[in-house]
Structure 1
Amino acid sequence: MTNQPNLPMRGVWAFRVFACFAFGYFLSYAFRSVNAVIAPELMQDLSISNSQLGLLSAAYFIGFSTMQIPLGVALDKFGARRTESVLLLIALVGAITFAYAESLLGLTVGRLLIGVGVSACLMASFTAYRRWFAIEQQGQLASAMLVFGTMGALVTTVPVQLALPHIGWRGVFWVTALLVALSFIAIRFGLPTFDDHPISNNQNSSAEEKSFSLKDILKHSFFIRMLPIGIVNHGGFLSLQTLWIGPWMIQVLGYDPEQSAQILFLFNGVMLLGYAFNAWFIPRANSKGYKTLNYVKWLLAVGLVAQLFAITLTIQYSWILWILLAVTATGHILGQSTVITVFPTRNAGIASTSYNLLIFVGAFIFQWGIGWGIDVLTAAGATKPDAFRQVFFAFLILQVISYLWFLFYPKPLKHHLAGS
């Protein structure tokens, strides 16, 4: 088989490339989500507070976020294959460090390295897809990647909960270390080598294709329109999915850790189905003239309403509303996938990672900030359920403000959808 597939990719090469990237993102999402299930064991073993747990979990996002701008430069200079494979070796070291750690500091260092190591797993794929696949496939590919990412989140719920009594949280991380090694092999030796020097390859591009600097990207009106929902709504949702939904089920709704893990499994399972539906639906909707951002607009609106009722209703079965949020949150990745299409292929790496950086800055802020807020309110005398509700409600208000910005900056969204 030749290492010079025809572009845009189709057939066997398209499947092979997608499978390699999807497996890496499966692991990235598993690492991102696993603390929500092992949190009770970690807190008990090391006497970790809510704010310390939030900071430990957020170390992943710190490492991940710190890498995004250098990652974008590397993707545009060295290509997706070389960049992601090297970073996966750092993730391998991080997983082993976490498994060996005997202190909060050791765990934090391990999780930081994991964040650095898997920082390319989605953005390398987005960059490669932008260069190697037809532009009308971008939303479909993004949703399909999230199908596999959500599978990673699913594996960290009930399966990890069942494995904990037998191998403990350390054993879980030894297993992930082995899987990271396999992912390195797949990326390094399974992807084509023709795009290992993107800058040289793009020298023959049309001179009329404008190249964007980082400053140009950050100042672009569409980038600015998408910025608040990326930081607050998307980033904040990641903090809920990967950490705070689990404690909400236990502290607010009164479920035990096993029941919470089952709800998280359902939460992520529904998300998986939502992403699969989007991968099927978006190309068909686009072919009939229905814009992706219009679909995103309605999904996010329903998600805000679902959160309002989930936070304010005191009945135990209000967990169903969080499942509805999982469905609507599948719109975030569709919004993110539209950002990269505004910029030329030669800047695909830096454009995708710049926006992704801001999403994960938001994830860090809210993953730590929610824990901090809960600790502050409980120290002031609030009960745990009341503290959770008040902090979550404040987060909801910020989401509403960001959503309104998305709808109306710099002019109503309908003008953008109309192409004006």
Structure 2
Amino acid sequence: MFSSRSRLILAMVPGLGLAFILSQFLRSVPAVIAPDLRAELDLTAAQLSALPAALFFGSAIMQLPVGVLFDRFGPRRTVAAFILLTAIGVLGFSYAQSTTWLSLSLLFVGWGIAPVFMGTIVLLSRWVPRDRLSTASALTVGVGGLGMLLSASPFAAATDAFGWRATLAAIGLFSILLALLVILTVRDRPPDDPPPVEAGESLVETIRGLAVVFREPKLYALGLIAGLVVGSFLTFRALWVGPYLNDVYGSDLLQRGNIIFVISLAWLVSAVAIGPLDRVFDTRRGVVAAGTLGMCIWFGLLATADGSSLTYAIVVMVVLGLCSGLSSPIFAHARAMFPDRYVGRVVTAINLFVWGGVFLIQVGTGAFINAFPADALGQTPVEAYRWTFAVLSAALLISIVIYWRVGDEPPSRDRPAVEGR
């Protein structure tokens, strides 16, 4: 029924799928327990934003090393080894008693999950036809999106029943088993394909490949919109939506979890639905620009929410999620600009912009919100959130203008770039 190639792909799905689910889960967890962390450790808005920012900073600084490791040693060994770092970080976080310990633990988590998405994209680039990369990536992102769903209502329920420390400790132990599953089931390339790095290529030559990627001026426009699209939504979803619902609407843990679940489900739908649109309309740039414009509009509408209607805020946040699943066409656009041998480094470069953007946006919004005085209960005023959403909306609009200058790479053309251009 299935070819040998198909059986190998199916065998890899559980390990890679669970790894991606875990990475998305851990990136999204802070939003649910942020009010609890703030109350338990008496954190300011700036200190609170610094916690998940440590995770994304860890991911950002690992992008370049991981990209080289992929091209030289393969995703299988790289991802499995780094998942063990994730286990160390999660277990450390579950026992942490200070902001320093929490931040250091999340730094380890960031290191550990850094190669998961990149590794999946690299593997897809080797196992599926190039013109179907965006669709395959979208399906993969959709699977990973289950982690975002699990970090909402299910995690809130587990936290309510067992506490966040015990819940995360169990997840840390699960991570160790997951590393073993990846090493046993994942294969770096199809048996009939040549190695991605030519025999005899030295480490210096491999690193020089990064220079080829970074010499492409268009990469920076792509990196800007990637960083703002992913960074703004993840900052909202993984950090501020919990405090926003708590401070402005008085939502408790379970209500926050349920609302975040719906927002996450909307994002998951968009991640799966938007991916194939580049082939439907034969444009990657158009899909990315349209989705980013939608995010700009709905962040702007969220900035008009004055705290009087939770229903209005929920509708706006859900539609925002429906516009935000743009990772697949962004990565496919970047991937189409370079020869196959640079795939690991191309994904690395865009991911560097993505996680660097998340880190900067989280730290920046934390400092911005912290400038607004908290009330007697330590809660942030609605004006702080409204101005934050307005700034994100404006930044997204600017990124569209800059990105539109990048030439399109429609799937129908699907031609490799001239090496070294």
- Short-chain TM bin: 0.7 to 0.9
Aligned to 1:130, which of 113, 116, 125? Answer: 125
For structure 1, which segment, 244-253 or 23-32, has the greater mean C-alpha deviation from structure 2 after superposition? 244-253
Aligned to 1:90, which of 85, 90, 112? Answer: 85
CA contact (8 A) 1:93 1:113 kept: yes
The alignment partner of 1:129 has SS state of helix
Aligned to 1:234, which of 208, 230, 241? Answer: 230
Structure 1 gap ranges (5+): none
TM-superposed deviation, 1:415: 9.2
Q: Counterpart in 2 of 1:309? A: 301
Cα deviation code 1:15-68 (max 9, x no counterpart)? 222332121010001110101111122112211111111101111011111100
* 1:365 aligns to 2:336 (yes or no): no
Q: Counterpart in 2 of 1:164? A: 159
Structure 2 counterparts to residues 27-42 of structure 1, below 5 A: 27-42=22-37
* 1:406 aligns to 2:400 (yes or no): no
TM-superposed deviation, 1:379: 6.7
1:250 corresponds to which letter in structure 2? N
CA 1:251 to 1:195, structure 2 compared with 1: closer, same or farther past 3 Å? same
For structure 1, which segment, 84-93 or 394-403, has the greater mean C-alpha deviation from structure 2 after superposition? 394-403
Q: How many equivalent pairs are there?
A: 401
CA contact (8 A) 1:164 1:172 kept: yes
TM-superposed deviation, 1:348: 1.3
TM-superposed deviation, 1:408: 2.8
Cα deviation code 1:370-406 (max 9, x no counterpart)? 1111111227999611111112212221121111111
CA contact (8 A) 1:61 1:115 kept: yes
Q: Counterpart in 2 of 1:54? A: 49
For 2:101 and 2:194, the matched residues in 1 are separated by 39
CA contact (8 A) 2:50 2:363 kept: yes
CA contact (8 A) 2:71 2:197 kept: no
Q: Counterpart in 2 of 1:296? A: 288
Q: Kindly report the root-mean-square deviation, in angstroms, between the aligned alpha carbons of the 2 structures.
A: 2.9
For 2:112 and 2:323, the matched residues in 1 are separated by 29
For 1:290 and 1:416, the matched residues in 2 are separated by 5
Identity of paired residues, percent?
Answer: 23
1:291 corresponds to which letter in structure 2? T
Aligned to 1:385, which of 361, 382, 395? Answer: 382
For 1:312 and 1:173, the matched residues in 2 are separated by 36
Q: Counterpart in 1 of 2:392? A: 395
The alignment partner of 1:118 has SS state of helix
Cα deviation code 1:146-197 (max 9, x no counterpart)? 112211011111111111132211112112112212220121010126689x
Structure 2 counterparts to residues 2-401 of structure 1, below 5 A: 10-192=5-187, 202-203=197-198, 213-278=209-274, 281-282=276-277, 286=279, 290-314=282-306, 315-316=309-310, 317-378=312-373, 384-401=381-398
1:265 corresponds to which letter in structure 2? F
CA 1:77 to 1:384, structure 2 compared with 1: closer, same or farther past 3 Å? same
For 1:27 and 1:414, the matched residues in 2 are separated by 33
The alignment partner of 2:372 has SS state of helix
CA contact (8 A) 1:61 1:364 kept: yes
CA contact (8 A) 1:37 1:261 kept: yes
For 2:266 and 2:228, the matched residues in 1 are separated by 22
CA 1:418 to 1:155, structure 2 compared with 1: closer, same or farther past 3 Å? closer
The alignment partner of 1:120 has SS state of helix
2:383 corresponds to which letter in structure 1? D
Structure 2 gap ranges (5+): 416-421
TM-superposed deviation, 1:275: 2.3
The alignment partner of 1:408 has SS state of coil
TM-superposed deviation, 1:254: 4.0
For 2:237 and 2:86, the matched residues in 1 are separated by 21
Cα deviation code 1:187-210 (max 9, x no counterpart)? 1010126689x99664379xxxx9
The alignment partner of 1:252 has SS state of helix
For 2:357 and 2:120, the matched residues in 1 are separated by 22
TM-superposed deviation, 1:116: 0.3
For 1:277 and 1:201, the matched residues in 2 are separated by 30
TM-superposed deviation, 1:130: 1.1
For 1:165 and 1:383, the matched residues in 2 are separated by 24
For structure 1, which segment, 95-104 or 263-272, has the greater mean C-alpha deviation from structure 2 after superposition? 95-104
1:235 corresponds to which letter in structure 2? G
For 1:333 and 1:53, the matched residues in 2 are separated by 30
CA 1:33 to 1:380, structure 2 compared with 1: closer, same or farther past 3 Å? closer
TM-superposed deviation, 1:231: 2.1
CA 1:377 to 1:17, structure 2 compared with 1: closer, same or farther past 3 Å? same
2:247 corresponds to which letter in structure 1? Q
For 2:189 and 2:385, the matched residues in 1 are separated by 51
For 1:295 and 1:155, the matched residues in 2 are separated by 28
For 1:104 and 1:276, the matched residues in 2 are separated by 36
TM-score between both structures, scaled by the size of structure 1: 0.88
For 2:134 and 2:274, the matched residues in 1 are separated by 8
